[in-house]
């Protein structure tokens, strides 16, 4: 199969599924930065996000037969990234006490961006205080710019449920942000 720039992600994934494993490099080129940014936002750890991103693409090859024709590839790979992150978190849950150490957030922020302004630091610290599900919803909808329909597919729920949860997560984020702003 000759892959051109006009070929859809779904067609490329079908080729990978049918044994043309070299075609996975096109999907890697298209998605590795987005998946890395998604995982970095969830973990607040650049090195971990790099490792997890590699794991996502290894799983893409390993579990290529689980991809169903007609499904959106983007939803499928984000679901896979969520699973890789959840698996990592589960396996390390007993090793580390807290999921995100809010006090050390500024260390991670300064590693990933040059001189972020104070409001952005407050935003990241506020985001770290959210529950895992709320943080993931906001990362998917606000940072990754996925549509509610896609997030609903990824999270196996309804669009209405996603809208309500995003609305609540934004309210909680706002609350944490203003709380932190008062203390600074």
Domain ranges (residues) in the chain: 8-97, 100-184
Length of the chain: 184
Nearest to 72 by CA among 149, 2, 1, 141: 149
pLDDT at 93: 66
Cβ atoms 69, 8 nearer than 8 A: no
pLDDT at 65: 94
Global pTM value = 0.72
Cβ atoms 139, 182 nearer than 8 A: no
Return the CATH architecture of domain 100-184. Orthogonal Bundle (1.10)
> Which one of 3.40.640.10, 3.50.50.60, 1.10.1740.10, 3.30.540.10 gives the CATH number of domain 8-97?
1.10.1740.10
Strand, coil or helix: 33: helix
Express each pLDDT in 24-66 by its tens digit: 999 999 999 999 999 999 888 899 999 999 999 999 999 999 9
CA 174/CA 110 separation, integer angstroms:
22
């Amino acid at each position: 199969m000759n892959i051109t720039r006009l070929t859809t992600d779904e067609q490329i994934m079908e080729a990978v599924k049918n044994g043309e494993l070299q075609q996975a490099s096109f999907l890697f080129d298209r998605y590795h930065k987005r998946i890395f940014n998604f995982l970095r936002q969830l973990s607040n750890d650049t090195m971990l996000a790099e490792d997890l991103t590699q794991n996502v693409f290894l799983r893409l090859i390993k579990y290529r037969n689980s991809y169903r024709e007609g499904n959106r590839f983007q939803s499928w790979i984000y679901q896979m990234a969520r699973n890789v992150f959840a698996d990592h978190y589960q396996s390390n849950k007993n090793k580390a006490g807290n999921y995100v150490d809010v006090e050390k957030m500024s260390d991670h922020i300064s590693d990933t961006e040059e001189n972020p302004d104070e409001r952005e630091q407050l935003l990241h610290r506020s985001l770290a205080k959210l529950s895992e599900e709320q943080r993931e919803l906001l990362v998917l909808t606000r940072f990754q710019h996925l549509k509610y329909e896609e997030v609903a597919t990824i999270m196996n729920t309804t669009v209405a449920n996603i809208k309500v949860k995003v609305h609540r997560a934004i309210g909680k984020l706002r609350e944490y942000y203003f709380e932190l702003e008062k203390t600074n």
